[in-house]
Amino acid sequence: MRYSLQAGGKRLRPVLVLAAADVFRRTTDPLPARSADALPAAVAIECLHTYSLVHDDLPCMDNDDLRRGRPTAHKQFDEATALLAGDALLTFAFQLLARHYAATPTLGLRLTHELAEAAGSAQLIGGQMEDLLAERKADATAADLDFIHLNKTAAMISAALALGGHCGGAGEADLARLRDAGRSLGLAFQIVDDILDATADTATLGKTAGKDARADKTTYVKLHGLDAARRHAETQTRLALDALAGLGGDSRFLVALAGRMATRKN
């Protein structure tokens, strides 16, 4: 568990949790009365995200040897250990929420519901299943691809922003804006991922480059080409920035972070 969780990476989802929570903290007090510490929620979503990567890398899934610049868990240890480590990280995410928000049960319930919905069979796991099925289809469409990544990728980014919003005390209108921003940001993130797989090298990415093309996997680059994929990423980023601009608090850092996500190199 520690090997996979402490391997580095962008820590994007926990940073989004913390940044979204900060948007709604309108006083100089680091933890206003209507807010709660967002750090346990941030760690929880990173645990859950890491579990999904550990399982995604297994031979029965994407069968990858490299993650975050070093051997994947099943290569460093073995398949059974990697499977159990992923299971334990998933469970630990919800243990963290239960432990750290016990004194604020309404908030704890909201956080648990938000994360469980994003990580369940209708979103993260459902998107992953559709991704596996698409590998066997020669005629996967743009709509198929959007469905996969709205659920496999964007749902967790949307959840990260919503978790932060809950911890910061955001109202329902702002929570809806955060979720909308997360969906667009998640699509942009995945499109950039597909572009980098086609254009960057393994050392820069920290994972095996060019794997999608070798596997003839359905990606935004394969369906639309590089130039159109870049334009699509820009469009989704603008939609995310528009949603964030409507938030009631100070969203400057969050807006800057969202903009940088579209220009990342790994």
**Domain of residue 110, CATH code:** 1.10.600.10
Kindly state whether residue 65 falls inside one of the protein's structural domains.
yes
Kindly state whether residue 145 falls inside one of the protein's structural domains.
yes
Kindly state whether residue 266 falls inside one of the protein's structural domains.
no
Which single residue is written with the structure tokens 């993650």?
67
In this predicted model, what pLDDT tens digit does every residue of 16-55 receive, in sequence order?
Answer: 999 999 998 754 345 544 557 999 999 999 999 999 999 9
Q: Stretch 224-231: mean pLDDT, rounded?
A: 93
CB 191 within 8 A of CB 225: no
Indicate the helix (H) or strand (E) that contains 67.
Answer: strand 66-67
Tokens representing 165 are: 């919003």
In this predicted model, what pLDDT tens digit does every residue of 113-127 receive, in sequence order?
Answer: 999 999 999 999 999
Kindly state whether residue 210 falls inside one of the protein's structural domains.
yes
For 2-62, give the DSSP string.
HHHHTS----HHHHHHHHHHHHT--SSSSS-TT----HHHHHHHHHHHHHHHHHHTSTTTT
Kindly state whether residue 241 falls inside one of the protein's structural domains.
yes
Q: How many domains does the chain have?
A: 1
In this predicted model, what pLDDT tens digit does every residue of 64-114 receive, in sequence order?
Answer: 999 988 999 999 999 999 999 999 999 999 999 999 999 999 999 999 999
> In whole angstroms, what is the distance from residue 3 CA to residue 54 CA?
11
Tokens representing 243 are: 């949603």
CB 22 within 8 A of CB 113: no
Range of the domain at 35: 2-261
Kindly state whether residue 26 falls inside one of the protein's structural domains.
yes
Print the SS3 string covering 80-99.
HHHHHHHHHHHHHHHHHHHH
In this structure, how many other beta carbons lie within 10 angstroms of the beta carbon of residue 100?
Answer: 18
CB 35 within 8 A of CB 249: no
Kindly state whether residue 133 falls inside one of the protein's structural domains.
yes
